[in-house]
């Protein structure tokens, strides 16, 4: 990984429940990706495959938003309360710009 | 699947090589999704995870473009040559709009 | 303009009606952009401005889709019928990728 | 406008300089939109127009990011410091999701 981040972990550790929910969503996405492999093997119609890829994009985006919201609620908020918001907000903007490409 | 498409297969079947290349790209994406599960289990920093999700989005988008290009080169082109382009182009626009959300 | 395109005009000229409709949509968008200038002058709330920017993005995207659809229906279809689809489809993919950024 | 926002103005008023810079960027965008009207009137090639629309999209996105960054640096940060971050962060997430469509 070429990039360096401000931290290695969230300012407040994720609970077991939060971790489990995220894993479940990612396992569903993993299953969707395998589903598309099957569609390609079966030489399925391009538009059919594209609609499924679009569904994965949407699911991944939602996972991203969920992580972003928690990040702002904890890491960013904690940094701001400690008067160290500046760098954390810059880092957030950088990843938001990358995400929007 | 609620949607109906104009065809079940591409107008020209994908070659073994085309299928293998697409499968390879999708297997890499599947591995990336599993990588993110590991990152969540290790309670890794939110921004680090977001950058990886963004990399998957980008890889999926490229698979989508590759399928779209082949679709236009074969299915759409063949329909146009046979004077049946109208419906095929409408279907293409619908999936492109869905993709851009 | 640094880029070169395959043509200077659509393969089939736009009708007066098509041109008028596109101009009307663009004039509305121009009005929306001026509306945001007014909001900035009035020091309006950031989120309020962002929602209006998002509305313009959506309107512009729709103009883009409308132009893309006509392009495929005429320029791309005509090129394909004349056996010259390859370059035209490559050009289309390039602009679609740029658009999706 | 159907939507209600948490505030009418930023928590810290924009300076004259900030307002002027934003207006300048929006005036340039307004000029770009008029430029596309001219292209449509001149019946210019579809792909040429699409590239210009894509440039406006990009410029608008950058204005949006700039407003978002200031919003987080002031309105969101101030709310967090006053222990009222929850609603403000929810509002931010809502507009970010709308923006990403």
User: Under an 8 A CB cutoff, do B23 and A40 touch?
Assistant: yes
Residue located via tokens 């640096």: D73
User: B68: which chain C residues are within 8 Å (Cβ-Cβ)?
Assistant: 93, 96
User: Considering the domain boundaries, does residue A3 fall inside one?
Assistant: no
> How many residues are recorded in chain A?
101
Instruction: State how far residue C42 is from chain B, nearest Cα, in angstroms.
Output: 31
User: Under an 8 A CB cutoff, do D63 and C70 touch?
Assistant: no
Cβ neighbours around B82 below 10 Å, total: 10
Residue B5 pLDDT: 96
Beta strands, E only, chain B: none
pLDDT in tens, C58-70: 999 999 999 999 9
3-state SS of chain A is CCCCCCCCCCCCCCCHHHHHHHHHHHHHHHHHHHHHHHHHHCCCCHHHHHHHHHHHHHHHHHHHHHHHHHHHHHHHHHHHHCCCHHHHHHHHHHHHHHHCC
User: Considering the domain boundaries, does residue B81 fall inside one?
Assistant: yes
Q: List, as ranges, residues 33-92 from B with C-beta within 8 Å of A.
A: 33-34, 36-37, 40-41, 43-51, 53-54, 56-58, 60-61, 63-64, 67-68, 70-71, 75, 91-92
Residue B86 belongs to domain with CATH number: 1.20.58.1000
User: Considering the domain boundaries, does residue D3 fall inside one?
Assistant: no
pLDDT in tens, B18-75: 999 999 999 999 999 999 999 999 999 999 999 999 999 999 999 999 999 999 999 9
How many domains, in total, are found in chain C? 1
User: Under an 8 A CB cutoff, do A89 and D77 touch?
Assistant: yes
Percent of chain A with pLDDT over 70: 97
ipTM of the complex: 0.95
User: Considering the domain boundaries, does residue D95 fall inside one?
Assistant: yes
The answer to whether residue A1 scores a pLDDT higher than 60 is: no
User: Considering the domain boundaries, does residue B7 fall inside one?
Assistant: no
Distance CA B68, CA B64 (A): 6
Nearest one of D10, D25, D97, D14 to D60, comparing CA atoms:
D25
Distance CA C94, CA C6 (A): 12
Distance CA D5, CA C38 (A): 18
The answer to whether residue C1 scores a pLDDT higher than 60 is: no
User: Under an 8 A CB cutoff, do C48 and D5 touch?
Assistant: yes
What six digits make up the tokens of C44? 């309006």
pLDDT in tens, D56-85: 999 999 999 999 999 999 999 999 999 999
Distance CA C101, CA D54 (A): 9
Instruction: State how far residue D101 is from chain A, nearest Cα, in angstroms.
Output: 9
- Mean pLDDT computed over A3-13: 92
User: Considering the domain boundaries, does residue B71 fall inside one?
Assistant: yes
pLDDT in tens, D4-45: 899 999 999 999 999 999 999 999 999 999 999 999 999 999
Q: Is B100 on the interface with C (CB under 8 A)?
A: yes
What six digits make up the tokens of B65? 């473009």
Which range marks the domain in which residue B57 is found? Answer: 24-99
User: Considering the domain boundaries, does residue A62 fall inside one?
Assistant: yes
User: D20: which chain C residues are within 8 Å (Cβ-Cβ)?
Assistant: none
The answer to whether residue A68 scores a pLDDT higher than 60 is: yes
Helix axes A46-71, B46-71, angle to 10 degrees: 160
- Banded model confidence at residue A100, pLDDT cuts 50, 70, 90: confident
pLDDT in tens, A29-64: 999 999 999 999 999 999 999 999 999 999 999 999
Instruction: State how far residue C11 is from chain B, nearest Cα, in angstroms.
Output: 15
Residue B3 pLDDT: 59
Nearest one of A37, A70, D97 to B44, comparing CA atoms:
A70
User: Considering the domain boundaries, does residue D62 fall inside one?
Assistant: yes
User: Could you write out the DSSP letters of every residue in B23-50?
Assistant: HHHHHHHHHHHHHHHHHHHTT--HHHHH
The answer to whether residue A74 scores a pLDDT higher than 60 is: yes
DSSP state of B6: S
């Amino acid at each position: 990984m070429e990039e360096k981040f401000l931290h290695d972990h969230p300012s407040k550790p994720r609970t077991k429940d939060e971790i489990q929910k995220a894993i479940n969503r990612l396992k569903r996405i993993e299953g969707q990706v395998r589903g598309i492999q099957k569609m390609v093997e079966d030489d399925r119609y391009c538009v059919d495959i594209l609609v499924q890829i679009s569904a994965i994009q949407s699911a991944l985006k939602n996972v991203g938003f969920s992580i972003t919201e928690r990040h702002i609620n904890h890491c960013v908020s904690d940094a701001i309360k400690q008067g160290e918001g500046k760098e954390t907000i810059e880092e957030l903007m950088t990843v938001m710009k990358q995400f929007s490409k």
